[in-house]
Amino acid sequence: MSNIFSYNQENIDKAGAVLRDGGLVAFSTETVYGLGADATNDKAVASIFAAKGRPTFNPLIVHVNSLEDAEKYVYVTETARKLAEKFSPGPLTMVLLRKENSGLSPLVSAGLDSVAIRIPNHQVAHDLIKSSNRPIAAPSANASGTVSPTIAEHVHQSLGEKVNMIIDGGACSVGVESTVLDLTGEKVALLRYGGTTREDLEKILGYEMITSENNDTAPKSPGQLSSHYAPTKKLYMNVPLPKEDQIFIGFGNVEKCHLNLSVDGDLVEAAANLFAMMRDADKLEGKSIAVAPIPMIGLGLAINDRLRRASFPK
Ligand code: TXA
Ligand code: MG
């Protein structure tokens, strides 16, 4: 039986319930198909990375239906308002500072203090956000390292049964991903070229955006930012036995740990807990943080990648 469902209210309601239950729903947007999960649910967001087989935790785009909704999660700046007025809903994603009490999973930001927000211009996406009553975290609905899907069948070919439902909204009209802008700095930085053109954006902004072409220090691949969350305490990974003065983050059936990413050794659960536990460990009394070995399979690759970044000497 195929997990592709046609677009009607009954299936939208069903999909909304699947999302609220922590499941994955692929859905059409005007750019490419998205692999959606409830952005407030750590485990659901972690399962996106598991389904895609992503080796790293790239931050994800959070999809909402209006700027008012966005304001629950991020600080909407004047520039964001100006750009949204012209280009939203549409293929434009704006990275904005995250509100402390946003309720979003830290995993959608991959530990950063910002969130990428997009208001998609597609009836299916709109109806699904509405019916789920949740902000929807969604990367493109394809396995890592493969091209983004623009029809429902592509999603099925790439992800198969790893997604609970695929809502078929036909072919995507834009076909390339959204343009991603960083609005957290003094000047807007263009992080990814996409469906909204640079020319159109700069016409509204009235100046040239920061890009990797005109600025050596402009972030090229946001997933690789060194400003990614790292604890202030020194972090050691792959530690089977911690020292007396260390805060120990365990994994699986380990004795005497302060925190445990997953007692059951479940990598999805571990991913869901990772960023929050690094923060928690940082607040505990101890000289440094030691993390138990995490197996290099499935989500373990992404977890180890993040731990490695967090363990770089400061
Ligand atoms: O058109 C699109 O944008 C599609 C549809 C489904 O909306 N989504 C999409 O998501 O392409 P994804 O995960 O494949 O790409 C998200 C991009 C990545 O380049 C990521 O690094 C960047 O947005 N991004 C997300 N959150 C960010 C943040 N807080 N700071 C900087 N970059 C961020
Ligand atoms: Mg993608």
Range of the domain at 41: 4-211
Answer whether residue 228 is part of any domain.
no
Answer whether residue 59 is part of any domain.
yes
Number of domains into which the chain is organized: 2
Tens of pLDDT, residue by residue over 1-22, are 689 999 999 999 999 999 999 9
Q: Name the token pair of 269.
A: 């659960």
Higher pLDDT, 282 or 250: 250
Tens of pLDDT, residue by residue over 119-175, are 999 999 999 999 999 999 999 999 887 778 989 998 999 999 999 999 999 998 888
Q: Name the token pair of 14.
A: 């069903």
Residue 133 dihedral angles phi and psi, to the nearest 5°: 60, 35
180 close to ligand 1 (CB < 6 Angstrom): yes
Q: Name the token pair of 260.
A: 């445990």
Give, in degrees to the nearest 5, the angle at Cα 63 between 120 and 127: 65
Ligand 2 (ion): which residues have CB within 5 A? 140
Tens of pLDDT, residue by residue over 55-105, are 778 899 999 999 999 999 999 999 999 999 999 999 999 999 999 999 999
Instruction: Name the average pLDDT for the chain.
Output: 91
CA dist., res. 217 & res. 219, Å (int): 6
Q: Are both 70 and 37 inside the same structural domain?
A: yes
Closest ligand 1 atom, residue 63 Cα: 7
pLDDT-derived band at 190 (thresholds 50, 70, 90) equals very high
- Dist. CA 175 → ligand 2 center (Å): 12
Q: What's this model's pTM, rounded to 2 decimal places?
A: 0.85
- What pLDDT sits at residue 113? 93
Q: Are both 57 and 192 inside the same structural domain?
A: yes
143 close to ligand 1 (CB < 6 Angstrom): no
How far out from the chain centre does Cα 268 lie?
15
Q: Are both 169 and 83 inside the same structural domain?
A: yes
Q: Are both 195 and 303 inside the same structural domain?
A: no
Answer whether residue 217 is part of any domain.
no
- Helix H or strand E encompassing 195: none
109 close to ligand 1 (CB < 6 Angstrom): yes
Write out the DSSP string of 261-305.
S-TT--HHHHHHHHHHHHHHHHHSSSSEEEE----SSTTHHHHHH
Last residue of a domain, one of 211, 244, 275: 211
Q: Are both 244 and 166 inside the same structural domain?
A: no
Q: Are both 243 and 202 inside the same structural domain?
A: no
Q: Are both 84 and 136 inside the same structural domain?
A: yes
Answer whether residue 96 is part of any domain.
yes
**pLDDT > 70? residue 227:** no
pLDDT-derived band at 219 (thresholds 50, 70, 90) equals low
- What pLDDT sits at residue 226? 43
Residue 70 dihedral angles phi and psi, to the nearest 5°: -55, -35
Mean pLDDT throughout 210-220?
71
Q: Which-ligand-closest: CA of 143?
A: 2
Last residue of a domain, one of 177, 211, 245: 211
74 close to ligand 1 (CB < 6 Angstrom): no
29 close to ligand 1 (CB < 6 Angstrom): yes
Q: Are both 191 and 156 inside the same structural domain?
A: yes
How far out from the chain centre does Cα 261 lie?
19
Share of the chain above pLDDT 70, in %: 95
CATH code, 245: 3.40.50.11030
